[in-house]
Structure 1
Amino acid sequence: MSKRQSSKHKIDRRMGENIWGRPKSPVNRREYGPGQHGQRRKGKLSDFGVQLRAKQKLKGYYGDIREKQFRAIFAEANRLKGDTPDNLIGLLESRLDAIVYRAKFVPTVFAARQFINHGHVNVNGRRTNIGSYRCRPGDVIEIREKSKQLGIVLEAVQLAERDVPEYIEVDHNKMVATYARVPGLADVPYPVVMEPNLVVEFYSR
């Protein structure tokens, strides 16, 4: 399991954007960067800086994935046929922790990873405790019976700040989700603009 090196609030502040669209994000109150020099006027980013920022934002959004793991995902996306940016998004959205988050079984992608790691999730009837597990279209993701009444699950289902995307079919009464299809960039409901094309440019230097 990838270990989060900094709090999600710090990731928001560093990016200067509310990347998960949460009402409690500190960016909603302070748009400037963290630290004693955060309010200084920012210089214009170089092309490299823009590409790096796009990569860090996308990597942070999915739970601050470790660089080695994220680079491996990009390498796989680059090998696949078709559009590399869309392939990259498809691979990221196929992760079990992303699907559990998208299905609104938990409030954050960080909570999804911990929830899975603690053994609360079945995939096709088998307990799976690896957040990076790659799901395939048609896979059925279910909250285990003993976990369906956990407070974190009941709270997440009621969240009004985000909707379940069309490529995931969910029955919140049974706490079951089906991964219907692999999405492209246009299908994913990001609260902020993601630029996987810049990530491709970053790794293609």
Structure 2
Amino acid sequence: MTKRAESKHKIDRRLGINLWGRPKSPVNKREYGPGQHGQRRKKPSDYGTQLMAKQRLKGYYGNIGERQFRRIYEEAVRRRGDTGENLIELLERRLDAVVYRMKYVPTVFASRQFVSHGHVTVNGKRVNIPSYIVKDGDVIAVKEKSRQLVIVLEAVALAERDVPDYVSVDHGKMTGTFVRAPKLADVPYPVQMEPNQVVEFYSR
């Protein structure tokens, strides 16, 4: 699966939310941060609110590195339209995010590893770059040799999340299509995401 089970839980505890909506999240039992001062709640400043919004979005997509996340933001700024919506679209076009949305794997962390280990094809060609940007109409499939892996079978059977309507998938054939770019309202986040706060953070 993934080597980041512990850090996933640390991200949840630090942010004080069940970021991925998983039933095993420690926040389900302890809705406060780690450490002896974790239960103290201060009203965050504007900067703190914006930073938290950025950490939520970064963390949700497998805790993307700061340099890579900033590059995604800069690309969102270059594109026409609302920068916040562009940011969400670029994040959802990442191959690891699409594989996660298609329920080939149970977590975003597992998705990144699944892609990098060469289990996924795009339009019939093997792609092992998790940050690969998927285009409208691209067909994303699990390689035939990988379709009976336990991680895949378990993910398909998970009832805790649904496949959104901007991707279509046939779990019998383990193949799916990225139909269109989503808007913020289309993305099934378990917690509220505020991309405009992220834009404000980088615009300071």
Structure 2 length as normaliser, TM-score? Answer: 0.97
Q: Is the 1:123–1:140 Cα contact (8 Å) retained in structure 2? A: yes
Report what 1:168 is aligned to. Answer: 167
C-alpha separation between the residues in 1 aligned to 2:181 and 2:15? 27
What is the distance in 2 between the residues matched to 1:61 and 1:193?
A: 11
1:42 Cα deviation from its structure 2 partner: 1.3
Which whole-Å CA distance do the structure 2 matches of 1:141 and 1:5 have between them? 26
- Name the CA shift for 1:91/1:4 in 2 (closer, same or farther; >3 Å): farther
Matched, 1:94 2:122: no
Unaligned runs of 5+ in 1: none
In structure 1, distance between residues paired with 2:5 and 2:200: 25
> Counterpart amino acid of 2:93?
S
Q: Check if 1:77 corresponds to 2:42.
A: no
Could you say what secondary structure the match of 1:122 adopts? strand
1:189 aligned partner: 188
- Structure 2 counterparts to residues 117-196 of structure 1, below 5 A: 117-196=116-195
Summarize the Cα distance change of 1:146–1:137 in structure 2 as closer, same or farther, 3 Å threshold.
same
Mapped partners of 1:48, 1:35: distance in 2: 23
- RMSD (CA atoms): 1.3
- The offset of 1:36, in angstroms, is 2.1
2:106 is aligned with 1:107: yes
Q: Distance in 2 between matches of 1:134 and 1:4?
A: 23
Tell me how far apart the structure 1 counterparts of residues 81 and 67 of structure 2 sit (CA, whole Å).
Answer: 23
Shift of 1:88: 0.3
> Residues 88-131 of structure 1, C-alpha deviation per residue, up to 9 Å, x if partnerless?
00000000000000000000000000001111000000000010
Q: Give the superposition deviation at 1:75.
A: 0.4
Q: Is residue 31 of structure 1 aligned with residue 47 of structure 2?
A: no
* Superposed structure 1 runs of 4+ greater than 2 Å apart: 3-6
